[in-house]
Amino acid sequence: MKSVKVWIRAAAGVTAAALTLSGMSACGGSKTPSGQAATSAPAGAGTATGANAGAGAAPVKSDAATASAAPVVLSDGRSAVYLTGLNTAKKTTTFDLIEFLTGDAAKAEWKKEHPEQPDGPDNDYMIINNNKKLRTLPVDPKAKCVVLATLGGTDTKTVTFAALPAFLKERNKGIAVTPPQISVLPFWLTVKHGTVTGFEEQFLP
């Protein structure tokens, strides 16, 4: 698949001011987005017994070792994504993992793509989406969902996960949202033990 790096310029009239772009999300959190989780699993250590002990017998993997080899969908912490699905009945969310870069990281990436413009991207951020793979994770029913009340305003509000799909659908009326995204703005997911415990909408100028 061809690698795609996207520099996002927010369209006029569809922006919300209120949060600074030094990685600030709708509720004020700030961390460097995590990339795709690297999957690793401890090697299964079998034991040789009887006549085969010490004679080069093949190690036997236990069920626990096999289970630990299951791929990690997304590592614990905060990660930037585009939401592509919210299933309140099954309590899951589907998303496209992205990189949201600000500051020096954004400038360094910008210089790679635009060496003739070393000052960095407008508004001091870049969104990189090299992999369009969609991932799905379970959601804690009590997950905190912080969103921008309006795309043109500065206020935020907190809604329940059950109310999030309807809120986004209503607020995004008349806005061109690129499928399979279901929101024009990216979100930060907070993941704990493989479950999404929080959603935070990212302001873009």
The model's pLDDT over 143-202, given as tens digits with 9 standing for 90+, comes to: 999 999 888 777 899 999 999 999 999 988 888 899 999 999 999 999 999 999 999 999
The reported pLDDT for the residue numbered 64 is 52
Q: Is residue 159 part of a domain?
A: yes
Q: Is residue 145 part of a domain?
A: yes
Q: Is residue 9 part of a domain?
A: no
Token digits of residue 109: 């990436």
Query: Which structural domain, as residue segments, surrounds residue 89?
Result: 20-34+75-99+132-205
| Of 116 and 199, the one with more pLDDT | 199
What is the Cα–Cα distance from 44 to 68, expressed in whole angstroms? Answer: 9
Q: Is residue 81 part of a domain?
A: yes
The reported pLDDT for the residue numbered 154 is 74
The reported pLDDT for the residue numbered 4 is 43
The model's pLDDT over 20-61, given as tens digits with 9 standing for 90+, comes to: 344 445 544 444 444 444 333 333 334 333 434 444 555 555
The reported pLDDT for the residue numbered 51 is 39
Q: Is residue 186 part of a domain?
A: yes
CB neighbour list of residue 131: distance below 8 Å, 6 or more residues apart: 1, 36, 97
Question: What is the pLDDT confidence band of residue 114, given thresholds at 50, 70 and 90?
Answer: confident
What is the Cα–Cα distance from 50 to 101, expressed in whole angstroms? Answer: 57
Q: Is residue 57 part of a domain?
A: no
Give residue for tokens 């000052």.
Answer: 119
Q: What is the pTM of this model?
A: 0.67
| Of 63 and 193, the one with more pLDDT | 193
Question: What is the pLDDT confidence band of residue 62, given thresholds at 50, 70 and 90?
Answer: low
Q: Is residue 58 part of a domain?
A: no
- The DSSP symbol for 56 reads T
The model's pLDDT over 69-92, given as tens digits with 9 standing for 90+, comes to: 678 899 999 999 999 999 999 999
Our count of domains for the chain comes to 1
Q: Which residues of 34-44 are buried (b: 16+ CB within 10 A; e: fewer)?
A: bebbeeeeeee
